[in-house]
Chains A and B, each alone.
Chain A
């Protein structure tokens, strides 16, 4: 296995939280290439958040517990990468916009600079990088505002900006829009499109499946800690386990499944346009019968 070309390699990863007897992750293995966008789906308790934390090394180093197997980034296990290098390789954004602000900075600008201050960069470099990321994420106009005055969507953009300031090549996002309104959700997904253009490797846990499939190349499907599938969205959503485990899917996929309307390759469509095409075909067929 050429681990140098692959960005992330997860090998036989198993993990149990402290005080727990059940495996949160059970022998998970997969690889991700640089620049890929991968989504993670599964029911509650499937291990999605745990996997996110394992990719950053926070599980087990922050949460304790027992890990077996390896998580390699650019060929080295995350647990062997020193903190100041690790935060510049992989960033993590979580659900709750409010608990991700450091709380110690009075302005948006300083908040974004926080991470760079922590790793000890030169002041001029910091000023430059902060301005760059603020402009990119359309937060420059808010740079002197207090972070606590921002809306949910803006805060989440700030959280992303704060992490991106460190210029990681990988960004992991765990349900970044679950606490946001539609406006906020749109803002975050716009940012993700930007990031994809920038060539950043993205790993995204997200329940808004319709939006998810528009932004990822592959899906990781977890259930009770085990890897059930790792493939394209339409492959995954066509698996019988999706229905069996009640995971959920894009709404148009549900409609197609109900009408047994498949694409020529036998899979159910997961994108809107494709679904429309497939359904047109199906309606034509039903039309001639009824």
Chain B
């Protein structure tokens, strides 16, 4: 039973970095792209993320992520190009539709910001085992109960989906109407999800008993068997991120005061 994570198992420098380090990178790049809404800032982090994707050999998967926002980006270009409130400079027309420079530039900025966010977090997601990420966060102080929730969600979901799949097959063979008009389908939906909810809640109660009996919540500071190493590189990268973040915030605040 595989989990539903997008983790790509390779052995690269990026993969070996501590999850929290990669998290810092992702947050820093996103926050910076908001503090300094300029195309160059966005492109800077974007190129770093792309470069790291290459190093981590996950570029192909990264392209997959980005393509998810392709359609929205195109429509944004269209809509902003035509309707952005500061539109003034006409660039081109298609029939009756007028496209302006300010809108196109604005849309480009937004697109770069989004793609930047996707690639920065995508890097984290593609090169980190979710269970390692949770373990790392719990070691750094995240509540173990929250850690348990996050860890078990990842395994529960494929379980539920496979149960759902079984249910739908079973019900179909019993004559459940899955084609037809909207209200028929709605009835079918209800007949499918009802039993699944009931059985999963009952199982949840049993699981609660099982973990209680194994001392869940007995102490506030449980031990960890799995260890996520923090290397000098990790400390260095995290330091840089924090440093950059502080500088950026100070800079921005200063600019704002000087206005």
Contact = CB atoms under 8 A, between A and B. Distances in A.
Interface of A: 53, 56, 58, 62, 82-84, 87, 91-92, 94, 96, 98-106, 109-110, 113-123, 126-127, 130, 146, 148-149, 159, 162-163, 166
A170 to B, nearest CB: 12
B225 A84 contact: no
B152 A96 contact: no
24 contacts: A56-B213, A82-B218, A84-B219, A87-B214, A87-B215, A99-B206, A101-B210, A102-B152, A102-B207, A102-B211, A102-B214, A103-B159, A104-B152, A105-B151, A106-B3, A113-B225, A114-B211, A117-B225, A120-B219, A121-B223, A123-B223, A123-B224, A127-B225, A162-B214
A119 B215 contact: yes
Interface in B193-231: 203, 206-219, 221-226
A130 B214 CA distance: 14
B207 A116 contact: no
Contact of B151 (A100, A104, A116, A122): A104
B1 A148 contact: yes
Interface of B: 1, 3, 131, 147-148, 151-152, 155-156, 159, 203, 206-219, 221-226
A118 B215 contact: yes
Contacts of B213: 56, 58, 87, 91-92, 163
| Most chain A Cβ neighbours within 10 Å, of B147, B156, B222 | B222
Contact of B210 (A84, A99, A130, A148): A99
Contact of A99 (B207, B221, B222): B207
A163 B209 CA distance: 12
Contacts of B203: 96, 98-99
Contacts of A146: 1
Contacts of A62: 208-209, 212
Contacts of B214: 87, 102, 114-115, 118, 162-163, 166
A138 to B, nearest CB: 21
B210 A115 contact: no
A94 B206 contact: yes
A92 B131 CA distance: 27
Contacts of B218: 82-84, 87, 118-120
